[in-house]
């Protein structure tokens, strides 16, 4: 028992050692979850609160929690390739592929599966924090103007105030010509469309 | 014109917003969340210190939690892994919760106030054994220490950092350690056990360094069985394997002396086989026989005396030290609808410290466990409080003859859920005066307007929030227009049925089912599933709807079945049946009788089909549809899928005309050396599909292959059926099948090399989405298969339609060998999955979204458009207009689309979707240890105004417009007048 405990302590002291051979048939994976201070302060998860962070091996085979300093360990792990996931509300963690090799114990082989980045030591940091709520935008005139009702009002204002102005600004000559044209063409009415309607 | 088109474009874009998320102040408006801990296995009180009084509990669902002793609320809670069973808990140093779990191999300490894990220590040993946790106040090398016996090794562990101080192995093969005892005030430990079942062994060990001080052993003629009960710190009581001879063994100073007393000497009548009840009361132990619980006192040297014989269900608590040298324990007995709680001092059976009678709800069943705690009253006498665990897994705190609080922890283990409509609101029946008067209504809306315009003061905001959350509209007991108010009927593992209101999650009624109650004929009843038995629509509106509960007497599939019919409005069990056959499968048929009772076919283990309800009318209806009934069975162990149809009436017993023989139509035998079935999925029976045609980019039509007989089967290499990482990619593969269950035709088969389970799958309309692990990339993947009907593809020709030369109206039949084509695509997905479901709307018009239960116990909504096999890296313009998203290698996780927002549904098991009456909305219920319910609109609520719609703004706009009309009218009149005067 004592060597394991010592190994564990050793692992606690130096983060470089992530995999150590334990007693019996398995190995031990030690690692650390680091949640940077400052990130997520505007979220609801208290910054640095680690008591509810779960570390999950192979999709739920083993679940463990973090020590106050962020360290975790999985005991009695057979050699092979494993997947570690971190479940923390408010943060997005990439799953990590960890290779436990039987031939050279102690060798670290870990990589983030999301971006295939290798890890020299098993320190897991969130890729980003997760904001679950939309942020209500503060009241602004633009948002009212942009709303359907605002647009309707705007359109009406344009028609009511700007159109007469446009008409007024037209050259009187041109105006008369346009009116003449309109009269000649006539208003397309149902009567004119009917056969024979054009003759009257 | 340009403006008009601009507006249109603008509307179009504003409606295309992809995320359907929540504002933080909308939490609790549509959703509710309830937290549970499960059936309590062990509880430890923490009441010594001033400040908050707590109780620490471990449960059968592998949870450790601390609860507020005043209210029963959860302070903190940790869910351990599925194999991490809690063996023992205790409090050390007054500030740490110590848990021993995983068969005694993991010892953890948690900070009592906030639940932070302090240390974790792994304990291994030479062999598997019983695990025992003993907290002592021993001080070894200045550290307070714990004594743990597990895996055949005795460890002393420091409380401060979990370091192992010393250890001692007990390697004898046959030794079964039963107890680890530390006599009070001493610095040695006794380890007591049996060797080879007939030898009694005691080891006396120095607690400071683990040195063996003395080892004694005595052989007995008989064999020991089961547990021993500690009578004092140097005496134990045990039973021999025949259950008829009581042994009291004392090992004072390591010298073993024993007394044998036949049980029949103590009792006049022969009691049959007896077992010892685990208890720790000094001087008294209890044995339980079939008929009674017997309390026996040990007087002096091995002399036994029966102090009480009770015939009721009796539960004893562990001993509690109330003062120096004085112990007390609690007894709980049933008497009619009351329970009697008695607290007795250990040394004097005849006197009571406390005797209370408490009225108990019959629906909670018997008391299963009791834990007691004492407090000092103001008059310096002892007061007691008791925590009791009931048959329905609920947890209650009793104090001063009353129930202080109760928790419905049975809801932590839901087996199946169905829904029921609420009663229709009848005219004349006033359902509480909830409608406000106009002034208040307007005031509320003005407040809301102020809120949206960000003009509200903090008090206003609080008032608005209160108003929204307390809206009595949503928790009424009547049916609503939109179909949001329903009853969720949940069957729990304890055999209790709960009805929860979807509006606020309150329990409307609960009923402990008689049919799932333990009895002589049915010793191990388990609930299987729930079905809607009667849903009154047109004919029988006066009847209440009812649900069918199916269960069986025992875990094996050939155990006899039990049925219950429960009224969904009142929770009354109006019929309960013990079947004479087993229940392997329940098939709700799409036929109802004149009272709208649905016909159900129960298939037993011998493949006979039994029709329910057993009425002549049902058999008439069934006879006409006799040849249209098909079903299938999946045998996971042997890898065989078989299809069946009905043949004739049962040949064996003539009397039963509701029993039918079946014939095997087809079978698919998978090679057992290369494929093992791990998952199957079918379409939901009640799923509506709006259209079979799917318009694609270039004005083309594809026809979905929509069949309710589609079965998805996933198999893996037998070697790869274990955990992730146990196989290499070369020796693992995943094969998926789409099978028609009427003909047994394999419509599609696909192999994913280098992939393995677990597989989660969902089948809807003409597509199936499944999630699995890709070993080569070492990432999870999700794949989609869409299946299209090619034989209808010719119908695109307009002339054929006009002439009538088309097959659109031809019925869809499994026997018409449809030419199908499938399309498939795979994507990476970040998380492991616990459950997957798809949104369900009443007419199936609204686009679908997948609801994904992730390993972090959250529910993520993912648009089905992301899982479209027609996605490509560079979609054409036409495809983009159709809404095809450019292909990416992984599926996006948008935090705002977590429908559980910042909550966790701990221990998530399944996600249930129910269609509301409003087409845009689906009701989502996720359950595990926690319950979560919400409304979800996959394409926003396009058919009703949202809750934030500001009526006040609308009113103000209208008023302003009317005013403007008047003003302009007056102005124009005046202008006209002036013009005329000119």
Domain with A153 in it:
141-199
Contacts made by residues A102-110, CB under 8 angstroms, sequence distance 24+: A105/A19, A105/A20, A105/A21, A105/A27, A106/A17, A106/A19, A106/A20, A106/A21, A107/A19, A108/A16, A108/A18, A108/A19, A110/A18
Distances (CA, A) of A145 to A149, A154, B450, B774: 8, 8, 17, 51
Does residue A117 share a domain with residue A47? yes
Using DSSP's 3-state secondary structure scheme, residue A37 falls into coil
State the count of interchain CB pairs (< 8 A) between A and B.
160
CA B47 – CA B39 distance, rounded (Å): 22
User: Chain A within 8 Å of B75 (Cβ-Cβ)?
Assistant: no
Same domain, A106 and A158: no
Residues B283 and B358 in one domain: no
Cα separation, B53 vs B376, in Å, equals: 14
Nearest CA in chain A to B759: A59
Place of tokens 């006197």: B351
Are B439 and B397 part of one and the same domain?
A: no
A127-131, A181-185, B779-783, B848-852: segment of lowest average pLDDT: A181-185
Which of A20, A57, A59, A85 should one mutate to test binding to chain B, selecting the residue with the greatest count of B CBs within 10 A?
A: A59
Nearest-neighbour CA in chain B from A163: distance (Å): 13
Q: Is residue A167 part of a domain?
A: yes
**Closest B-chain CA to A24:** B124
> In this predicted structure, what is the pLDDT of residue B429?
43
**CA-to-CA distance for B939 and B306, rounded, in angstroms?**
72
Which residue's entry shows tokens 């394997």? B241
> Could you tell me the CATH number of the domain that includes residue B232?
2.130.10.10
pLDDT at A167 over 90: no
Same domain, yes or no: B369 and B280 = no
> CA of B168: which chain A residue's CA is closest?
A1
pLDDT class for B786, splitting at 50, 70, 90? very high
Do A119 and A62 sit in the same domain of this protein? yes
Same domain, A191 and A123: no
Distances (CA, A) of A169 to A162, A178, A179, B672, B972: 10, 14, 15, 89, 21
In this complex, the residue of A54, A82, A132 whose CB is nearest that of residue B895 is A132
Domain that holds residue B254: 169-310
Give the model's confidence band at B397: pLDDT under 50 very low, under 70 low, under 90 confident, else very high.
Answer: very high
Q: Which of B390, B406, B422 is the last residue of a domain?
A: B406
Q: Which two tokens stand for residue A62?
A: 């083993």
With an 8 Å Cβ cutoff, are A51 and B726 in contact?
no
Q: How far apart are CA B268 and CA B306, in angstroms?
A: 11
Residue that is written with structure tokens 């006599």 in the block: B183
Q: Do A114 and B452 touch (CB under 8 A)?
A: no
Which residues from B are below 8 Å from A90, CB to CB?
A: 902
Chain B residue closest to A148 (CA)? Answer: B11
Beta bridge partners of B310: B293
- Picking from B383, B235, B409, B369, the residue whose alpha carbon sits closest to that of residue B322 is B383
Q: Do A50 and B116 touch (CB under 8 A)?
A: yes
Mean pLDDT (chain B, rounded): 82
Judge if A158 and A108 occupy the same domain: no
The total of structural domains in chain B comes to 4
Do B193 and B278 fall into the same domain? yes
Same domain, A122 and A176: no
Last residue of a domain, one of A129, A154, A173: A129
Q: Does the pLDDT value for residue B712 go beyond 90?
A: yes
Residues B178 and B298 in one domain: yes
Sheet holding B395-399, edge to edge: B367-376, B382-390, B395-399, B402-407
Contacts of B858 in chain A (CB under 8 A): 89
Say which CATH number the domain at A77 has. 2.60.40.1120
What is the bridge-based pairing of β-strands B22-23 and A133-134?
A: parallel
Give a three-class secondary structure readout of B777-826: CCEEEEEEEEEEECCCHHHHCHHHHHHCCCCCCCCCCCCCCCCEEEEEEE
Largest alpha-carbon pair distance within chain B?
134
Q: Are residues B302 and B328 in the same domain?
A: no
* Residue A45 in domain: yes
Chain B residues lying within 8 Å of A95, measured CB to CB? 779-780, 830-832
Determine, yes or no, domain membership for A184: yes
Quick check: A16 pLDDT over 60?
no
Chain B residues within an 8 Å CB radius of A73 = 120
Are A50 and A106 found together in one domain?
yes
The answer to whether position A136 is within a domain reads: no
| Rounded percentage of chain B residues whose pLDDT exceeds 70 | 89
* pLDDT of res. B736: 93
Nearest to B902 among A63, A66, A132 (CB): A132
pLDDT at B506 over 80: yes
Residue A135 lies in a domain: no
B890: which chain A residues are within 8 Å (Cβ-Cβ)? 114
CB contact residues (below 8 A), chain B span 145-184, against chain A: 155, 163-164, 167
Bigger pLDDT: B606 vs B473: B606
> Do residue A101 and residue A9 come from a single domain?
yes
Per DSSP, the three-state class of B256 is coil
Q: Is B888 on the interface with A (CB under 8 A)?
A: no
Q: How far apart are CA B662 and CA B653, in angstroms?
A: 15
- Residues in B closer than 8 angstroms to A64, CB to CB, are 81, 120
Give CA separation, B921 vs A132, A137, B471, B898, B944, in Å. Answer: 21, 26, 19, 16, 10
Nearest to B742 by CA among B643, B624, B660: B643
Please give the span between the terminal C-alpha atoms of chain A, in angstroms, as a whole number: 113
Does B81 contact A61 at a Cβ distance shorter than 8 Å? yes
Is residue B482 in some structural domain?
A: no
Domain count, chain A: 2
Helix, strand or coil for residue A1?
Answer: coil
The phi-psi region of residue B106 (left if phi > 0; otherwise alpha if psi is between -120 and 50; otherwise beta) is beta
Of A121, A104, A103, the C-alpha closest to A112 is A121
Same domain flag for A25 and A117 = yes
| Same domain flag for B300 and B327 | no
pLDDT digits (tens, 9 = 90+) for B333-370: 888 888 888 888 887 778 888 888 888 888 888 888 89
Distance of CA B235 to the CA centre of its chain: 43
Phi and psi angles of residue B11, each rounded to the nearest 5 degrees, phi first = -60, -40
* CA-to-CA dists, residue B55 to B134, B271, B371, B385, B402, angstroms: 18, 38, 10, 12, 18
> B453 and B372 in one domain?
no
Q: Are residues B463 and B336 in the same domain?
A: no
Q: Give the DSSP H or E segment for B767.
A: strand B767-774
From A129, A150, A175, the end of a domain falls on A129
Determine, yes or no, domain membership for B793.
Answer: no
Q: Could you tell me if B76 lies within 8 Å of chain A, comparing CB atoms?
A: yes
d(CA B354, CA B345): 10
Angle at B413 between CA B96 and CA B423, to 5 degrees: 130
Q: For B450-462, write each residue's pLDDT tens digit.
A: 776 666 777 877 7
Question: Are A87 and A165 in the same domain?
Answer: no
| A99, closest residue in chain B (CA to CA) | B725
What mean pLDDT do residues B754-777 have? 90
Say whether B489 sits in a helix, a strand or coil: strand
- Which residues in chain B (791-820) have CB-CB distances under 8 A to chain A? none
Tell me if chain A has a CB within 8 Å of the CB of B445.
no
Q: How confident is the model at residue B380 (pLDDT cuts 50, 70, 90)?
A: confident
Q: Which of B447, B475, B503 is the last residue of a domain?
A: B475
Residues facing B808 on adjacent strands? none
The answer to whether B601 and B608 are in contact (CB under 8 A) is no
Strands A123-124 and A27-33: parallel
Residue B369 lies in a domain: yes
Both A40 and A123 in one domain: the answer is yes
Mean pLDDT in residue range A165-174: 77
- Co-location of A15 and A105 in the same domain: yes
Q: Is A113 a domain residue?
A: yes
What are the phi and psi torsion angles at B410 (to 5°)? -60, -25
Return the residue in B856, B901, B948 with the most chain A beta carbons within 10 A, the one to mutate for interface testing.
B856
Same domain flag for B300 and B335: no
Q: Is A137 helix (H, G, I), strand (E, B) or coil?
A: coil
Task: Note whether B120 contacts A64, CB cutoff 8 Å.
Answer: yes
Q: Do B831 and A151 lie within an 8 Å CB cutoff?
A: no
For the whole model, what pTM was predicted? 0.86
């Amino acid at each position: 028992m004592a060597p394991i405990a010592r190994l564990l302590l050793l692992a606690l002291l130096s983060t470089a050692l992530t995999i150590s051979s334990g007693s019996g048939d398995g190995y031990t994976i030690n690692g650390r979850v680091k949640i940077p201070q400052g990130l997520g302060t505007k979220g609801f998860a208290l910054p640095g609160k680690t008591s509810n962070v779960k570390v999950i091996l192979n999709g739920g085979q083993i679940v463990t929690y973090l020590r106050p300093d962020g360290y975790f360990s999985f005991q009695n792990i057979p050699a092979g390739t494993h997947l570690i996931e971190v479940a923390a509300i408010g943060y997005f963690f990439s799953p990590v592929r960890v290779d436990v090799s039987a031939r050279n114990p102690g060798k670290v082989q870990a990589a983030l599966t999301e971006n295939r980045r290798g890890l020299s030591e098993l320190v897991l940091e969130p890729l980003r924090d997760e904001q679950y709520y939309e942020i209500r935008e503060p009241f602004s005139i633009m948002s009212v103007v942009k709303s359907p009702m605002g647009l309707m009002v705007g359109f009406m204002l344009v028609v009511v105030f700007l159109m007469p102005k446009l008409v007024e600004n037209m050259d009187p000559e041109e105006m008369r010509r346009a009116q003449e044209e309109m009269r000649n063409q006539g208003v397309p009415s149902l009567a004119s469309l009917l056969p024979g309607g054009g003759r009257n | 014109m340009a403006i008009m088109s601009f507006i249109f474009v603008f509307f179009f874009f504003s409606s295309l917003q992809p995320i359907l998320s929540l504002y933080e102040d909308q939490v609790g408006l549509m959703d509710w969340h309830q937290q549970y801990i499960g059936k309590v296995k062990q509880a430890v009180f923490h009441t010594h210190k001033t400040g908050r009084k707590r109780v620490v509990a471990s449960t059968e669902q592998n949870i450790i939690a601390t609860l507020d002793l005043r209210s029963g609320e959860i302070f903190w809670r940790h869910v351990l892994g599925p194999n991490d069973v809690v063996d023992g808990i205790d409090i050390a140093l007054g500030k740490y919760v110590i848990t021993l779990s995983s068969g005694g191999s993991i010892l953890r300490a948690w900070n009592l106030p906030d639940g932070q894990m302090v240390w974790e220590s792994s304990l291994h040993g030479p062999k598997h054994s019983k695990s025992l946790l003993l907290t002592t106040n021993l001080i070894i090398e200045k550290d307070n220490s714990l004594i743990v016996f597990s895996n055949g090794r005795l460890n002393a562990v420091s409380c401060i950092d979990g370091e192992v101080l010393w250890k001692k192995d007990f390697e004898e093969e046959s030794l079964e350690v039963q107890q680890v005892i530390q006599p009070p005030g001493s610095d040695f430990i006794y380890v007591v056990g049996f060797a080879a079942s007939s030898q009694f062994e005691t080891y006396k060990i120095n607690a400071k360094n683990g040195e063996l001080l003395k080892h004694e052993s005595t052989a007995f003629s008989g064999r020991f069985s089961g547990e021993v009960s500690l009578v004092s710190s140097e005496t134990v009581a045990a039973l021999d394997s025949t259950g008829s001879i009581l042994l009291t063994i004392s090992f004072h100073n390591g010298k073993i002396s024993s007394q044998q007393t036949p049980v029949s000497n103590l009792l006049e009548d022969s009691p049959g086989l007896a077992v010892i009840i685990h208890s720790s009361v000094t001087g008294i132990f209890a044995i339980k026989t079939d008929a009674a619980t017997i309390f026996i006192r040990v007087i002096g040297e091995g002399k036994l005396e029966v102090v009480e014989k009770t015939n009721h269900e009796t539960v004893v608590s562990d001993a509690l030290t109330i003062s120096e040298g004085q112990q007390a324990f609690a007894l709980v007995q049933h008497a009619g609808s009351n329970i009697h709680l008695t607290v007795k001092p250990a040394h004097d059976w005849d006197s009571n410290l406390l005797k209370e009678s408490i009225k108990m709800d019959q629906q909670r069943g018997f008391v299963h466990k009791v834990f007691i705690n004492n407090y000092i009253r103001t008059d310096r006498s002892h007061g007691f409080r008791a925590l009791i665990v009931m048959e329905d897994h609920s947890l209650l705190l009793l104090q001063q003859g009353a129930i202080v609080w109760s928790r419905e922890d049975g809801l932590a283990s839901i087996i199946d859920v169905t829904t029921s409509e609420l009663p229709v609101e009848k005219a004349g029946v006033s359902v509480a005066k909830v409608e406000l008067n106009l002034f208040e209504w307007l005031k509320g809306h003005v407040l809301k307007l102020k809120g949206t315009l960000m003009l509200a003061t903090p008090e206003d905001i609080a008032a608005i929030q209160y108003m929204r959350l307390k809206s009595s509209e949503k928790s009424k007991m009547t049916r609503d227009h939109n179909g949001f108010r329903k009853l969720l009927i949940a069957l729990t593992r304890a055999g209790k049925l709960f009805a929860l209101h979807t509006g606020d999650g309150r329990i409307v009624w609960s009923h402990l089912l008689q049919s799932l109650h333990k009895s002589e004929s049915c010793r191990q009843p388990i609930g299987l599933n729930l079905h809607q038995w009667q849903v009154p629509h047109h004919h029988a509106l006066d009847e209440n709807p009812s649900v069918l509960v199916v269960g069986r007497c025992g875990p094996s599939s050939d155990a006899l079945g039990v049925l219950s019919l429960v009224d969904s409005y009142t929770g009354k069990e109006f019929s309960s049946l013990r079947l004479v056959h087993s229940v392997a499968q329940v098939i709700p048929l799409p036929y109802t009788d004149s009272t709208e009772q649905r016909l159900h076919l129960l298939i037993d283990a011998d493949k006979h089909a039994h029709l329910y309800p057993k009425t002549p009318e049902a058999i008439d209806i069934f006879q006409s549809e006799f040849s249209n009934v098909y079903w299938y069975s999946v045998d996971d162990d042997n890898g065989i899928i078989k299809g069946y149809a009905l043949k004739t009436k049962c040949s064996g017993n003539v009397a039963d005309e509701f029993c039918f023989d079946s014939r095997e139509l087809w079978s698919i035998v998978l090679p057992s050396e290369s494929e093992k079935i791990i998952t199957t999925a079918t379409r939901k029976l009640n799923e509506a599909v709006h259209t079979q045609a799917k318009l694609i980019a270039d004005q083309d039509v594809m026809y979905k292959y929509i069949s309710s007989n589609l079965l998805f089967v996933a198999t893996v290499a037998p070697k790869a059926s274990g955990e992730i990482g146990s196989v290499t990619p070369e020796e693992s593969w995943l094969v998926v099948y789409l099978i028609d269950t009427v003909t047994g035709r394999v419509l599609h088969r696909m192999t994913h090399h280098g992939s393995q389970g677990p597989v989660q799958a969902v089948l809807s309309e003409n597509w199936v989405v499944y999630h699995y692990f890709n070993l080569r990339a070492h990432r999870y993947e999700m794949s989609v298969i869409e299946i299209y009907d090619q034989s209808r593809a010719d119908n695109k020709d307009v002339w054929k339609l006009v002439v009538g030369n088309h097959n659109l109206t031809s019925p869809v039949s499994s026997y018409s060998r449809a030419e199908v084509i499938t399309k498939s695509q795979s994507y990476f997905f970040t998380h492991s999955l616990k459950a997957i479901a798809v949104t369900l709307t009443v007419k199936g018009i609204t686009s679908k979204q997948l609801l994904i239960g992730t390993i972090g116990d959250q529910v993520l909504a993912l648009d089905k458009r992301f899982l479209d096999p027609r996605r490509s890296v560079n979609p054409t313009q036409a495809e983009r207009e159709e809404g095809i998203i450019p292909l990416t290698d992984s599926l996006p996780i948008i935090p705002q689309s977590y429908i559980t927002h910042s909550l966790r549904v701990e221990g998530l098991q399944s996600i249930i979707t129910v269609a509301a009456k409003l087409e845009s909305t689906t009701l989502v219920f996720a359950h595990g240890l926690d319950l979560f319910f919400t409304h979800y609109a996959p394409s926003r609520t396009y058919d009703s105004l949202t809750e934030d719609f500001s009526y006040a703004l609308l009113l103000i706009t209208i008023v302003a417009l009317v005013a403007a009309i008047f003003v302009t009218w007056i102005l124009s009149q005046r202008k006209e007048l002036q013009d005329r005067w000119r």
